[in-house]
Amino acid sequence: MFKKWKKEHTISVWSHFYSLDFPFPYTHNSFYEDAVRNIFIDKNSRELVELELTYSSSLNEAYQSIKVIPRYGRKIKNIVNVPKFIEWLEKKVELNLPITYENEGKIVYYGGDGYTRCTVSIVDSEERETMKIELEFGKYIW
């Protein structure tokens, strides 16, 4: 069953969040805290950013995602150093995440093995640009 949590705060607040500040089940998962605290360029910015966290787990698999939604008219590259974040994420999940898809308005980084799959997608729509980080664990993910 998927659980979603959505909240808007300044980057400064997000950059200093601890896992216990999130509601259950996100409190028991350091991935959310580590990713949120490492994603933004200016940790003291008062820029408002909306985060959407998604979590699902079963006996054999788990799904976690973080979606970063800036204010209208703002670009992800202005608030996130994407190459630096990808480098940090590769070390965190121990996977290589090359750009696997690049088209007008969409860039996707993807990496995986038989147990873990990680996807980072940056989508530039007419309304606003978003960044989504998905991490899946399971017995046989293909």
Structure tokens given for 113: 């093995």
Structure tokens given for 36: 């949120």
Is the pLDDT assigned to residue 72 strictly greater than 60?
Answer: yes
Average pLDDT over residues 121-142: 76
Q: What is the Cα–Cα distance from 110 to 97, expressed in whole angstroms?
A: 5
Q: Of 13-27, 39-53, 57-71, 87-101, which has the strongest mean pLDDT? A: 39-53
Is the pLDDT assigned to residue 125 strictly greater than 70?
Answer: yes
| pLDDT for the residue 142 | 43
- Which amino acid belongs to residue 141? I
The answer to whether 71 and 47 have CB atoms below 8 angstroms apart is yes
Q: What is the Cα–Cα distance from 75 to 28, expressed in whole angstroms?
A: 31
Choose between 57 and 1: higher pLDDT: 57
